[in-house]
Amino acid sequence: MSFSLSRTLRVLRLPLFCALLWWLGAGSAQAQVSCSATMSNVAFGTVELVDGSAPTTTATLAYNCTNTGSTSIFVRVCFNIGDGAESLTNFNPRVMKSGTNTLKFQLYQGVSSVIWGSNGNAVVPNPFFVDLNIPRQRQGTPGSSPGNTTMRGDLVALQGTTPPGFYQDNFSGIHTSITFTANASAAPTTCNGSSSGNFPFVVSATVSKSCLVTADPLNFGTIDGLPGMADRDQISTINVTCTTPTSYTVALTPSNNSTTGAGSMTPTGGVPGNTDSVPYRLYSNAGRSVSWGSVIGTNTVAGTGTGTAQTLTVYGRVLGSNVNVRPDSYLDTVTVTVTY
């Protein structure tokens, strides 16, 4: 009776022992792998946006996966990035904030157009991943597979209406994660098996006050050039784009450095010995009674930026009573100065 019971116990223990060995083997393939990473901050620095540009910068992800097992192991590792503390469900584009103001940006995998996202995200589902074959531990030193990659940050173009300020988005805590799948015999095709920490970083940019100015020529056309001719009036436009709500003034200075907008065109047509000149005046009103010069607060034009182009009209006049010149082409250069 004792002998039969002993055999029965052995029969019962054998499948239990085999099942236990199989479970430990699978578990050890996962447990012997560990991955860590650091990401440098995505710093755009000081940017000017009124020209509609899309500034770009880069950051570096440095990672290392180790293996404490006695055999090499295949691993797929994913580095997941979420929305950020300020974006909060905004993935494409992500956003930085300065108070209640927002600045749109996006994070890409290197020089590609692939948005750096995370597993399970329906909007940006592509984490950066690497496939590794990590060597085994030798003489107590874990095998390791270090590496690095570049992340590119782009500000979205055409954000000239964004007010000046310091903007940031914080990718700490749950906003990043490292996940991996390990397999002793074949390269995994997923990376959702285990979690291995985070790689926090900050995205930041300082939007500075800035202005952009362009001007059209002021062309008086063909004039008589004789005493007693009628005044010749023409207009031109200056386009000023300044950040919101930047105050600015626009000054006009002819080449003779007149502070009152009283300039003089000189000959350019190559007529030998011609030293004549054509005087003109610049005004800020259609009635041509308010001179437009360069004395700030006295005869300049002021405005407040909106982030979009604001058109200012320059009213020019050639005084007929002052004209007595030889036929030729006459030209002057007026400097437009925007102070903000």
pLDDT in tens, 78-135: 999 999 999 899 999 999 999 999 999 999 999 999 999 999 999 999 999 999 999 9
Q: Is 207 helix (H, G, I), strand (E, B) or coil?
A: strand
Q: Do 215 and 149 share a domain, yes or no?
A: no
The total domain count for the chain is 2
Residue 127 belongs to domain spanning: 34-207
- Parallel/antiparallel/unpaired status of strands 42-47 and 201-207: parallel
Q: Do 41 and 185 share a domain, yes or no?
A: yes
Domain boundary among 175, 207, 239: 207
In the chain, what percentage of residues exceed pLDDT 70?
A: 91
279-289 average pLDDT score: 97
Domain boundary among 178, 207, 236: 207
Domain boundary among 173, 190, 207: 207
Partner residues linked to 42 by β-bridges: 203
Structure tokens at 75: 């691993």
Structure tokens at 265: 């065109």
Of the candidate ranges 55-64, 278-287, 318-327, the one whose mean pLDDT is the lowest: 318-327
Neighbours of 55 (CB within 10 A): 17
Q: Do 322 and 295 share a domain, yes or no?
A: yes
Q: Do 230 and 308 share a domain, yes or no?
A: yes
Q: Do 41 and 155 share a domain, yes or no?
A: yes
